[in-house]
Amino acid sequence: MRNAFGLMLASIVAAVAIAGVWYWTSPRADAAPSQTMAAKPATPLPAAQKLAAKDDVETTASLSSRLAAMSAAPAATAAKPACANPDALGVARVVEVDTTGGPGFGFEHFKQLDFLEPKEVVLTFDDGPWPGNTPAVLKALADECTKAVFFPIGKHATYHPEILRQVLAAGHTVGSHTWSHANLNGKKMTDQMAKDEVEKGFSAVKWALGTNPSPFFRFPQLEHNPQVMEYFGTRNVAMFSCDLDSFDFRKGATPDKVVNTVMTRVDKIGKGIILMHDFQKSTADALPVLLRRLKAGGYKIVQMKAKSTLSTLPEYDEALAKDMKLPTVSSRPVSSVVQTVAQ
Ligand SMILES: [Zn+2]
């Protein structure tokens, strides 16, 4: 609005200047380059600048009064929501990822982007949302005032959209993990089927969240399909492998085993992206202890966020709504859908 207002002022001032009235009456006219006034209405705008400056001053003034009001309150509450746990694991650092070109993370498959410092870890959870387990994971994370990245399965998102919305509402990053957890490197997987799995998965997450997901993706079973990887380059989707696997999905995985697997491995490699599953009860049960162990071990949590969101493809949004008979709200204006062509 301010720019539009400024432009409007610019036009008015220029028009007045052309008429030759303002130029000679303004006390600041001598400072303006006289020869360009008519030709370049955007250049000599002392009046507009003055108004704009006033606008800035007002903004600054209201900002400083707000800051003054904020400084009266405890600093922690002004900066971020207070954490009830003074000994919480917390979040040491938030990083923003520019997903242009489809970067890859996690040393098991992608060794280029080594952005974590020693003792820094990223928590990631796949295969949700799922009743019981996902809320338990959310509670454990909230108790430690820490954040993670979630890679939900599209189908699960359509079964339990309210749980996925809780994940987003708690401030976590939400990407995607295909529509049905298909192995994108499977023998019968065609390029079209792989694209459908990917895009329908993102559309399902968007439907559940009511907003675009983060352009973050993890291949099911870490089966990286080269064609899909190339496709992500054009879709600007970041791919996530991991640095260490909790193996919480294995038969016989217990909370103790999950904690020991993660701690043994992280102590060995010193940092990394940890792969877990909010779908798994063993992880849901292990997490309170695991987060305490990470804290005791001096590890710091890094939260990964995306610089921009992923725009889902409308044809997949529509196909999903049709397949699932999901309630949907068309984002297109009536005039772009229905037009009178004869009367
Ligand atoms: Zn998975």
pLDDT exceeds cutoff 50 at 63: no
Ligand 1 centre and the CA of 60: distance in Å? 49
> For the chain, what's the residue count?
343
Residue 167 pLDDT greater than 50, yes or no: yes
Average predicted confidence (pLDDT) for the chain: 82
Does residue 111 surpass a pLDDT of 90?
A: no
**Confidence (pTM):** 0.73
The yes-or-no verdict on residue 31 having pLDDT over 60 is no
Q: What is the Å distance from ligand 1's center to 118 Cα?
A: 27
181-184, long-range: CB < 8 A, 24+ apart:
181/127, 181/153, 181/155, 181/220, 182/220, 183/220, 183/221, 183/223, 184/219, 184/220, 184/223, 184/224, 184/225, 184/228
Ligand 1 centroid – CA 314 distance (Å): 25
Neighbours of ion ligand 1 (CB under 5 A): 126-127, 220
Find the mean pLDDT for residues 14-24. 41
Q: How confident is the model at residue 44 (pLDDT cuts 50, 70, 90)?
A: very low
| C-alpha gyration radius of the chain | 27
Residue 27 has pLDDT above 70, yes or no: no
Query: Of the ranges 27-31, 87-91, 123-127, which one carries the lowest mean pLDDT score?
Result: 27-31
Task: Give the span between the Cα atoms of 166 and 135, in whole angstroms.
Answer: 8
